[in-house]
Amino acid sequence: MPIAWKLPRVHAPTAEGSVEPSGVGWLRLLLFLSMAVPLVLLAAFAAYRYEQMQDEAEMRLKRALSIAHEHALGALSVNRALLEHVRALAEPARQLDASRRNELASQLQQLVSGQAQVHAIQVRDETGRVIAASTGAGEAADGLGSAHPPPHEGAGAGGPLLSELGPPGRSGERLFDMSLARQGTGGRAAGVVLVSVPSNYFSQFHATLADEEPGVAVTLFRADGAVLSRWPPLAGAPERMSPRGEVLSRVLAGERSGTVRNVSSLDQQRRLILFKRLGEFPVYIGVGREFGALKTELRRELFLLALVGAVPVLGIVFTAWLAMKRTRQALGAAAHLRSESEARRQAEEALFQSQKMEALGRLTGGVAHDFNNALMVISGNLHLLRRTAPEAARRYLDAIGRAVESSAQLTRQLLAFSRRQALAPETVALQERLPPMRDLLAPTLGARVALSIQVAPDTPAIRVDPAELELALINLAVNARDAMPQGGRFELRAGPAPASEGGTDDYAWVLLEASDTGLGMDPETALKAFDPFFTTKPAGKGTGLGLSQVYALCQRTGGHADIRSTPGQGTTVAMRLPASGEALPQAQQPQTAHAALRRRVLLVEDNPDVARVVQPVLEQMGCSVVHVTAGAAALQALERGAERFDTLLSDVVLPGGLDGRALAVAVRHRHPEIAILLMTGYAEQIQDIDAQGFRVLPKPFTPESLADALAGLGAASTA
């Protein structure tokens, strides 16, 4: 009701001469103001604080949405990369016989290993029949594919298709599927590849968000409203969102993100909801929080203020002090939230980068194996052609040889940055190693670039793979040359580094620096320079693997690398490597040409092209050769007459259940008199094979390295 304002009135003298007290009205006004002002201020504070709490809640929800969005997008992106990789492995044009399906199933098992967001992987043909699965060839995982439509019902060749949640499996776990279509000849459907994703992978992560932000609800749902994950779980909650709800209606209208304030149809609670689409996937992530919790917290604060405001004057002073204190607390909380959000963002980026590099490393390992086999065929046939081709064809054969060497170097670079290149570390003295490299680096730099190499006499020795060190310096020289199109100066400097910069003893580290006077880089570009495939060169001028190989070399030796660059003034790449306390190896005498080997070789190689190259090369060395394509066939040949052979030369990756490593173990046990030499295109297998005591020859190899390896097995029988 309206307030009637009355001014204080001064009473006139009465007839009896008495006077009404003139201060009563002012006291009434003061009493009224002492109560009204705190109430008005309290009401204003309540409105302000409620808006502030809503803003803080929305800011925290945005942080939670960003974290949940990056986590879910990273998981789905990794799964998509897996699907595309599996689809390439299961190319319909390739013959998927029983051995190939077993091999494919083994590859699927390796892909699933260590991927928490993947339950299992399947490859299906156009009829829906399982061709291969990570749980075993032709076997279906618990719940895998159960919620996915048959291949003819819409698994397109574009982006991945996501199914609804399937029924609980035997373990109670619920899954949904991601799939990509396999295309056959003529564009016809050739089946699908499926990845099953556990729903609780997301809900468990969302539970950790709820621990840090009580009252937060997180939902992962498809664009058509099908719920894929919900935290916290609600009893009786539908598995599909209502299209009449504001969130889904806005999603169906094409919105990629938005904010909604409404009353939930599930529990009738008023909520603040934020949603956002996961990249180009038809999937959204939504986070929400109840307003009721905010009102409860606000009522508690107002009650405390009312208690303090019982004394009007002190209440006004205390209200001002409390507002200042609350504002300071709000600013501190906002700064803390920003810091926490940045730390979590960096952690999410590191996790995503780790998963990306792991998937990319697996991919490069498989590609390098096939590529090494192809290079093996080319280099072997090139060796045979050089013995019979006329002199006029020599320059063409030399060009092929240079192309093979360049391709092999590219493979080593790919394996180096993915950390799957086998190392052969040695103790190296840079005083002896760097000066002779002038003859190698000068042609690379060209006539316009001056080369300077300086090594301090007291530089300690380091332990490093010499070939990898040479490749790193060549990469740095190539980058420097490209950064100095008009010419300039390239310097290599090496010397001891003080212990204060990373060592524990005096001069326990070695600093190797490569500097140029080229165009330089801005700080943003320098931060990305070590990233694989990052390059500022035009298309076709660089692979973006040079500096990543330098960085990987430093990491694997226990050191580190950094870049100092200024636009227009040049770039310096500093490699800090740990010093080695080992003595330098004695110089080896040069090897002479091998005489006729006269070995009786059992060759086990499933790739017919590789076998057709290795067999005549062995025969030219004076060896007799029997070729089989599988480990079981090799054992049968030995059982029929082991005395016919004195050497086993086998590939590691073989079809069937007996690979080259298992075959070597069986032959060593049954026929210890037979020398064993294994060969492989998977660089990461070499160290494991060495640990078992077997000699291993990495592909691609030259006839000379094959002869050296066979000669190193010991004397051959002349019988």
Q: Which residue would you say has higher pLDDT here, 220 or 482?
A: 220
Please write the tens of the pLDDT for every residue from 497-506: 876 544 455 5
Instruction: Give me the long-range contacts of 300-304 (CB less than 8 A, separation at least 24).
Output: 301/49, 302/42, 302/45, 302/46
Amino acid at 75: A
pLDDT for res 126: 83
Output the average pLDDT for the chain.
77
CB atoms within 10 A of CB 234: 12
Task: Name the range with the highest mean pLDDT among 9-23, 112-126, 364-378, 459-473.
Answer: 112-126
The answer to whether residue 718 scores a pLDDT higher than 60 is: no
The answer to whether residue 530 scores a pLDDT higher than 60 is: yes
If residue 259 lies in a helix (H) or strand (E), which one and from where to where? strand 257-263
Amino acid at 476: L
Is residue 681 within 8 Å of 697, Cβ to Cβ?
no
Q: 220 pLDDT band (50/70/90 cuts)?
A: very high
The two tokens of residue 116 are: 């928490």
Name the 3-class secondary structure at 2: coil
Averaged pLDDT for residues 490-495: 92
Amino acid at 339: S
DSSP assignment of 198-223:
EHHHHHHHHHHHHHHSTTEEEEEEET
Pairwise CA distance, residues 451 & 515, whole Å:
10
pLDDT for res 409: 66
The answer to whether residue 429 scores a pLDDT higher than 70 is: yes
Preceding amide of 590 cis, omega within 30: no
Strands 257-263 and 227-231: unpaired
Residues facing residue 385 across a β-bridge: none
CA-nearest of 694, 695, 710, 648 to 673 is 648
pLDDT for res 410: 67
Q: Which residue would you say has higher pLDDT here, 392 or 340?
A: 340
Pairwise CA distance, residues 17 & 391, whole Å:
145
Q: 13 pLDDT band (50/70/90 cuts)?
A: very low
- Would residue 408 be called left, alpha or beta, if left means φ above 0 and alpha means ψ between -120 and 50 degrees? alpha
Burial of 271 (0-12, 13-18, 19+ CB in 10 A): buried
Q: 204 CB contacts (<8 Å, ≥6 apart)?
A: none
Please write the tens of the pLDDT for every residue from 622-675: 899 999 999 999 999 999 988 899 999 999 888 888 888 999 999 999 999 999
Pairwise CA distance, residues 111 & 196, whole Å:
13
What predicted TM-score, i.e. pTM, was given to this entire model?
0.40
DSSP assignment of 495-553:
EEE-GGGT-SSTT-EEEEEEEE-S----HHHHHHTTSTT---SPTTS--S-HHHHHHHH
The answer to whether residue 48 scores a pLDDT higher than 90 is: no
Residues facing residue 574 across a β-bridge: 513, 562
CA-nearest of 173, 76, 170 to 117 is 76
DSSP 5: -
Name the 3-class secondary structure at 64: helix
Phi, psi at 468, each rounded to 5°? -70, -40
Q: 8 pLDDT band (50/70/90 cuts)?
A: very low
